Amino acid sequence: MRTLIYEDDLAAAAALAAVHTSSAGRVYNVSDGTPHRLSEIIDAIALALGRRPPRWHVPVAPVRAALRVGSMIDRRLPSMLDKYQEAAAVDASRIRRELGFQPATDLVDGWRRTVERMRREGRL
């Protein structure tokens, strides 16, 4: 599971923490508040790109075996799979509870807006 935050929501959270009187010396995790499975994130990205989500998945065991062989060329390869698979979810309840922060952008809309911006900028 992973938590994400859209860039405008992150900026809003930072601005809120900067001016809120009770935030001095506090550390806040910021997220959209929803832990997402990696498959949900991939589906949202595919939707934003106007593509079909992948219909098949490769089992981890054969990929790990191939990366072990590939590690003879680049020893970082197995750890890259670990990084891809690791959970990266944070608890953002403190900023919601203490400062009243509420993200405005959900997973699907965040990826849609990101892809639109990247296309306008010529990066896609």
The angle at the Cα of 76, spanning 57 to 67, to the nearest 5 degrees, equals 40
Task: Give the residue from 2, 8, 1, 3 showing the smallest Cα distance to 114.
Answer: 8
Q: What is the pLDDT of residues 81-117, one digit of tens each?
A: 888 888 899 999 999 999 999 999 999 999 999 999 9
- Taking a C-beta distance cutoff of 8 angstroms, is the pair 60, 81 a contact? yes
Gap between the Cα atoms of 119 and 11, Å rounded: 22
Could you tell me which residues are beta bridge partners of residue 88?
2
Q: What is the pLDDT of residues 18-34, one digit of tens each?
A: 999 999 999 999 999 99
The angle at the Cα of 15, spanning 9 to 21, to the nearest 5 degrees, equals 130
- Whole-structure pTM value: 0.82
